[in-house]
Every structure is written in structure tokens, then in C-alpha cells.
Structure 1
Amino acid sequence: MKSLREKIEARLEDAKGTWSVAVEDLTKGEAFSLNGNESFYAASVIKVPIMAAVFAAAEEGVIRLGDCLPLRRDNIVGGSGVLQFMSPGIELPIYDLITLMIIQSDNTATNMLIDLIGTEKIQAVMNGLGMERSEIHHKLMIVQANRTNSNDITAADITALLTRIARGECVSLHASEQMVRILKQQQLSNGLADRFPATESTIVGAIPQWEFAGKTGTVEGIMHECALLYVHGRCVAVTVLSKGCTEVESREMIAQIGSDVYMYSSRNN
């Protein structure tokens, strides 16, 4: 892990903008972070702890994941997601709203879940999971004129959350399994897996060379990605946060870091 840290550190020395990286090898129990406790605007990465909070509410019996919520016209916001194009009045199970929030980063689904659980409950779950440097204060794509606080995260907090999920220690083993299943269906990328080898196989049912369970976050001047990377029976949690770069610069650096983590995982079986 020392060599991986040194390689990523060298990449970031001349990088534009501000960067934060936190990596944990769950198999070896080793970890490191670079600027890991610096606060960044969360963008859509905040949806991972929101997901954990919804599963926590279900575990407590406050809600049921199979219950349906109606889509109201005043729920609809822009940005990522498909619900903004759906007809008001349709009803979706809470589990499907979680899935849309994660794999398509659906902002409307996210806000419906925030309304359901409440920011105080979400923050309490985050604190209980050790995310004491991360905060949630508002819904997405709704800018209040008098807003004083923003949704903030650190790379160390997000990697710690992913690690707990991978170990089956986030809410419960069953909840953790469901969260990983959803994260593995991710349809968006900011580059972390851009340089991974192709996983196609001519053998039906073949075990893939690698699997990726992640979440992105992007707003102007900000690009993040976090993930659990499964390679040859091993698992590495990685979070990369950036601000002050162009989209091209950010994606290229995230791809390079992703490649470094993949090569480390492949060579350290």
C-alpha cells in the first residue's frame, strides 16, 4: 500500500485544483488518505449516506422498502435522473427510488427520500456511522436564498462508509448486501473505471475479472467518485474528491488514480 500511496501522491503534486483521496484495502486491513479530512461540497456522493439512512429507517420498522410513494409535481427537480420526465401521480416503491437515486443519480428520487426520512435522521445515521466531518443540510437542485450551510463530505468519511458496507456492518448484514447490489448497478462514471480491462467473456456465467460498486458526484468545478472495487476475491474502497479543475482534467486524474488502484489490487493477491 505504501507504493500505491506514493504513486498517487506523485500524481497529485502537479495537479490543478484541490484533491482528496482515501483508500482502504479490506483484505489486508491497510489504509491511507491524502488530504482525507478536507471538506468538499458533497454533490451527489451524499446519496450514499442517504441510502444508508433509508435502509436504517426500514430496519427500525419506520418504513417498508416495498411501500410506494406518489410522485407529485412539486417533487420534480432538474439535473440527473428520469423521474423529472415522468407523469405526476405515478407511484414507486421506496426500494426503486433508492435504486434510481444511486444508479442514475436521480435528484427527484433523492428529494422524495429526504422528505421521507428527514435531514436530522440522515445526519444522525451519518454520525452513528462515524461520518462526523460530513453534513447534510438541504435537498438537491433547490437553492435557497438564505442558505448558510451546504452538504459536505470528506474522502475519509466516504471511504469509511463504503468499508462498513462491504464488511456488512452498515445498518445490518442484509442491508449492506442490498446496498452493494444497488451500487454495482451504477450507470454513471466520472472515470474511476475508465482504464480497467474489458470484462467481456465468451463463456456464459463466467466470473468477471472485476466488479465495481460506486457513486459519482458532479457539479460545476467539482467532480467526485467513490467505489468498492472487487478484484480476484479482494476488495478495495476508494474515494476521490476534486474541486477547482475542468471536467477533462478531473476525469483524466480520476482515471489515472483508478488505474493505480486497480493495478495494486491485481498485483497484491
Structure 2
Amino acid sequence: MQTLQTKIEERLKDAKGTWSVVVEDVNKGKSFSLNGNESYYAASIIKVSIMAAVFAAAEEGSIRLGDFLQLRKDDIVGGSGVLQFMSPGIELPINDLVTLMIIQSDNTATNMLIDLIGMEKIQAFMNGLGMERSEIHHKLMIVQANRANSNKITAVDMTTLLTQIAQGQCVSLHASEQMVRIMKQQQLSNGLIDNLPAIESPIVGAIPKWELAGKTGTVEGIMHECALLYVNRQCMAVTVLSKDCSEDEARQMIAQIGSDVYMYARGNCK
């Protein structure tokens, strides 16, 4: 992976803002980290950890993914997602709330799930996975008075989580499969797939050139994306975190890194 690492290092050398990149070749067990332990405000990328904690609670039997939760007026917050436009009183299965949290980054669904599992339990789950520098302290889109701490993540921690999911070792094989299935339905991108080849095919049922199972995180001055990129029977776990960079510049850089990782997985660099 040295060529890939060097190429990304060269790209970041003159980049504005602060960047962290961690890439792992899951098949080969090789990886590299560029500022991977740098702490960032998590934004919505922490929702992958919340999803995994929900599956862990289901695995232990404290909840069932088919159980319904009622949307209350007090649950509704702004930002991403469709639930803020729904009528209070509707009920949705937990699995659907998880799906909305990931593929549309729905903040209302996220907060409902945080209330369901509990902040301390989510933190304990992350600690148990080895996410040593990641923290959850607050719900999304709620400004608390005298907030002492913010949700934090690192690129190393997020890639650790992704790799365990890819290997079927996050919660269980079945749970890992379900999490990948949800993340593959992602409707948002911060650029990781922008430069990848089109996957349309005239042949019905053709195997796509690539698939992405990922999650984004964006607030003012911050743009993150983490994903499992599947190419040619290869699986790459990629986390790119950025801050203090314009949205356009950040997206262009993330797109270039996505293209670099894709070319590596295609066997075009070592």
C-alpha cells in the first residue's frame, strides 16, 4: 500500500484545513494512517456507532428490531431527515429508524435511538470495540446549556469499526451483514464516489464494478466520510475526516482520495 499512501500524502501536502485519512485493505490486513488519531467533532458520522450499538442491544435481547417506537412532538429536530415532517404519533419499527438514521442521516431518528439505547451504553459499546478516542455526549441538533463536551471521533476508530463490520465481527456475522446492507443504501455522499466510474449496465442483474457502504458527516467547516468500498472482490475500509476547509475544496479532495483507493483496489497501484 506504500504507493497509495504516498499518493494521498502528496495530495494532502498543500491542502487547506486539517485532514486525517486511514485506509485498510481488509482482504490483506494492511493499512496506513495519516494523522489517524487526530480528534474531530463527530457530526453525523457517529451514527455508524449508534447503529452498531442498536444491533448489539438487539443481539442481547433487550430490544427487538421489529418493535415499534412512537414519534413524539418533543422528538422532532431539524437538519437532515424526513421524520421532522411527519405527524407526531406515527409509529415506526426500530429497524426503519436505523435505516433512516444512516441513509438519510435523519437526526430525529438518531435521537430516538439514543434515548432507546442510552448514551452510557453506546459509549460502553464503542469502548468495547476498541474505539478508544471516540466519545458520545449529546444528541443531534439540540443545543444544551453549558455543554462541557462534544461528540468526538478519530479516523483510526472509525476504520476499526468499519473493518470489524466487514469481517463480520461487529456484534455478530448476521448483524454485520445487516449493517452493510443498510449502509449500501446510502443516499448521501461527500465526494468519495464522485470520481468513480458509472455503474449502470445494459445487462440486467450484472455485477456492478463497485459498491459503497458508507456514512457522511457534515457541519459548517467540517466534512467527513467513511465507507467500505467493494471492488473486484476486494474490500477497502476508508475514513476521511476534515475541518477548517471550504465545502467545495473538501469534497474535491475526498473525491480524489476515493479515486485513489478505487484504483488501488483495481490493482493499478501497490
User: Residue 266 of structure 2: SS of its match in structure 1?
Assistant: helix
Structure 1-normalised TM-score? 0.99
Letter in 1 for 2:113: L
Aligned to 2:253: 253
Show the counterpart of 1:200. Answer: 200
Q: Identity of counterpart residues, as a percentage?
A: 81
1:237 maps to which residue? 237
- DSSP-derived class of the 1:159 partner: helix
What are the residue-to-residue correspondences of 1:92-241 with 2, within 5 Å?
92-241=92-241
Alpha-carbon distance between aligned partners in 2 of 1:90 and 1:218, rounded to the nearest angstrom = 28
For 1:225, what is the secondary structure of its paired residue?
strand
- Counterpart for residue 23 of structure 1: 23
1:102 partner amino acid:
I
Equivalent-residue separation in structure 2 for 1:46 and 1:28 (angstroms): 26
Instruction: Name the SS for the 1:267 alignment partner.
Output: coil
* CA drift at 1:152: 0.2
Give the root-mean-square deviation of aligned CA atoms.
Answer: 0.8
Post-superposition CA distance 1:94-135 (Å, at most 9, x none): 000000000000000000000000110000100010001100
d(CA) in 1 for partners of 2:39, 2:47: 16
The offset of 1:85, in angstroms, is 0.2
AA paired with 2:111? N
What CA distance in whole angstroms lies between the structure 1 residues aligned with 2:73 and 2:29? 47
Distance in 2 separating the partners of 1:141 and 1:213: 25
For 2:267 and 2:55, the matched residues in 1 are separated by: 35
Q: Cα deviation per residue 1:25-61 (whole Å; 9 max; x = unaligned)?
A: 0111100010000000000000000000000000000
Aligned partner of residue 204 in structure 1, secondary structure: coil
Q: What CA deviation, in whole Å up to 9, does each residue of 1:138-191 have, x standing for no partner?
A: 000001121010000000000010000000000000000000000000000000
TM-superposed deviation, 1:87:
0.4
Name the count of aligned residue pairs. Answer: 269
Q: Matched residues in 2 for 1:18 and 1:232: separation? A: 32
Unaligned 5+ residue runs, structure 1? none
Runs of 4+ deviating beyond 4 Å: none
For structure 2, list consecutive stretches of 5 or more residues without a partner in the other structure: none
Matched with 1:38 is 38
1:67 matched residue in structure 2:
67
Structure 2 CA distance, aligned partners of 1:140 and 1:26?
Answer: 31
Amino acid at match of 1:14: D
Describe the superposition over 1:55-104 as per-residue Cα deviations: whole angstroms up to 9, x where unpaired.
00000000000000000000000000000000000000000000000000
TM-score, normalized by length of structure 2?
A: 0.99
